[in-house]
Structure 1
Amino acid sequence: MRLYAYALQPPYVPITPAPIRRAWMDATPAGHANRCLPLLIANQSGWIVVHRGRTRATWEDGDRPGDVRIEFEGGGEAPTSHFGHGIITWRVPYLFRTPPGWNVLMRGPANAPKDGATSLEGVIETDWAVAPAFHSWKLTRRGHPVVWEDGEPICMIVPQRRGELEEWEPRVRDIFDEPELSQEYGTFSDSRTEFNATRPREWQKDYFRGRSPGAAAAPPGEHQTRLHLRDFEDSEQTECSVRPTI
């Protein structure tokens, strides 16, 4: 399947597969957070739009658009304050196009908390819409300057099949209604309790290896420990060489 990003004007803003690493995860004792495979997979689940230049935004005393002070340096395009209430918005200079029936979720970079700001999210029907993408962040503390450095991501794009969530029929069941599953869970729970009590030097790695302490295991060939998203091909260069700083 093809995901197109039609550049609207130069200078082009880099788009690159989201990296697996996060600075805050590396900074945990012995990089402990990097043992969490669900975090690592989420980190990579999309493409990052990279900020060009340096933005410093401060929400001052009020909810009007002018009550956000934006200081911008360098190349690229500065964000603006359209809506007030501490919201700043970047125009992403691309028009995204997906196959029929596919949307694009625009969200903040996964597992990348930012002090004083939170990313807003939007879903765009990118198989027909002809407007450029915009991405907003909401400042959460008045008087607190928030900085986006050059090379830092401003958003993450994730294709989604339209209507797929609505096809699910969620149900709540007692785990004891499924004896085999209940037994597998009990084996896992006992194993984790023993591990936490003894605190061995080696970590368990069961989920990382696609298995459980019991008989349950991932289907052959379907367990993932890393994603391999393709780079965006460029009409002028074969791939984007910029890697974001998160």
Structure 2
Amino acid sequence: MELVAYVFPGWEPLLRPASSRRDWMDGSPEQFAYRCLPLKMANAHGWEMLSPCGFTATWNGGMRPQDVVITCDPGTPVDAMPVALFGQATLTFHIPAILRTPPGWNLWLSGSPNAAKDGISALGGVIETDWSPYSFTMNWRFTRAHHTVRFAADEPIAFMMPVPRDSIEQFTARIAPIDDEPGLRDAFLQWSASRDAFQQRMADAPPTAPADKWQKLYYRGLNPDGTPASADHRTKVRACPFRAGDSPLDPE
């Protein structure tokens, strides 16, 4: 399958495979935040679009477009500047590409997972990019008035992930007693007991090696008894870089 970014002459989208790294995770003691595999996998599960310029933006609390004031770094081309287009305390980035997914696939558009920004929050959208000839925008909404936010050049402003259009409607949902799933109660209780024992050992005799300070069963894709749980368990994912001809478009 292929995700294509169609561009007019002069359109230069800054696209890259999403990174699994986060500054706040790097800064956690012994980088322990990366022990949470679901966080790490979510971080890298798509592509990011980067800001073509550095700028600051401030919202004064009003709901008109002019209530957001944007100041771009010197030398920023006009067509690279974000705008206050819609009002409602929003900041808008034009996406300089028409994205195309395979038939039946939408594009999930949001901010990068697990990358909070003080004073402003990314809005999310789901777009039928398998047929749409229309461009779209990435929008952020201020959460605090009279607070200036800054985006640096090449900072991620959007996160894209293809999703099957009808997948959510193929699921039914229910709440069931744990004994409805054969073996689940015993497996959970075995894991819970081993977890308690592991934490007690850590308290009684803390290891010196960081890798020995966490149990790693889920990270390794193991059942509570140590047997492999899934043949296709993953601990990393890396989206393919966008390419122009034979050249990868990957700022990393």
- Provide TM-score, normalisation by structure 1: 0.93
SS of residue matched to 2:179: helix
In structure 1, stretches of 5+ residues that fail to align are none
Corresponding residue for 1:232? 242
Offset, 1:217 = 3.3
State the distance in 1 between where 2:194 and 2:10 align: 56
In structure 2, stretches of 5+ residues that fail to align are none
Offset, 1:192 = 1.6
2:193 to 176, 184, 190: 190
State the distance in 2 between where 1:134 and 1:90 align: 6
State the distance in 1 between where 2:199 and 2:10 align: 54
State the distance in 2 between where 1:64 and 1:133 align: 21
Offset, 1:178 = 2.6
Corresponding residue for 1:55? 55
Offset, 1:61 = 3.5
Asked whether 1:38 is paired with 2:38, we answer yes
More helix by share: 2
State the distance in 1 between where 2:182 and 2:104 align: 39
Partners of 2:17 and 2:250 within 8 A in 1: no
Partners of 1:184 and 1:216 within 8 A in 2: no
- Provide TM-score, normalisation by structure 2: 0.91
Alignment of 1:144-223 (within 5 A): 144-199=147-202, 200-201=206-207, 202=212, 203-214=214-225, 217-220=228-231, 222-223=232-233
SS of residue matched to 1:239: strand
Alignment of 1:47-196 (within 5 A): 47-73=47-73, 74-75=76-77, 77-196=80-199
Superposed CA deviations along residues 48-100 of structure 1, whole A, max 9, x for unmatched, are 00111112110114111100011112356111112212101101100001111
Partners of 2:45 and 2:238 within 8 A in 1: no
Partners of 2:242 and 2:250 within 8 A in 1: no
Offset, 1:215 = 5.6
Offset, 1:9 = 4.2
Offset, 1:179 = 4.1
Q: Which amino acid aligns with 2:155?
A: E
State the distance in 2 between where 1:217 and 1:175 align: 22
Q: Which moved more, 1:163-172 or 1:201-210?
A: 201-210
CA RMSD of aligned residues (A): 1.5
Partners of 1:9 and 1:93 within 8 A in 2: no
State the distance in 1 between where 2:101 and 2:158 align: 18
Offset, 1:198 = 3.0
Partners of 1:49 and 1:156 within 8 A in 2: yes
Q: Which moved more, 1:194-203 or 1:61-70?
A: 194-203
Offset, 1:11 = 5.0
Q: Which moved more, 1:3-12 or 1:102-111?
A: 3-12
Kindly tell me the number of residue pairs found equivalent between the two proteins: 241
State the distance in 2 between where 1:197 and 1:10 align: 61
Over the matched positions of the two proteins, sequence identity in percent amounts to 37
Q: Which amino acid aligns with 1:213?
A: P
State the distance in 1 between where 2:215 and 2:190 align: 14
State the distance in 1 between where 2:149 and 2:140 align: 11
State the distance in 2 between where 1:93 and 1:55 align: 18
Offset, 1:163 = 0.9
Offset, 1:14 = 1.4
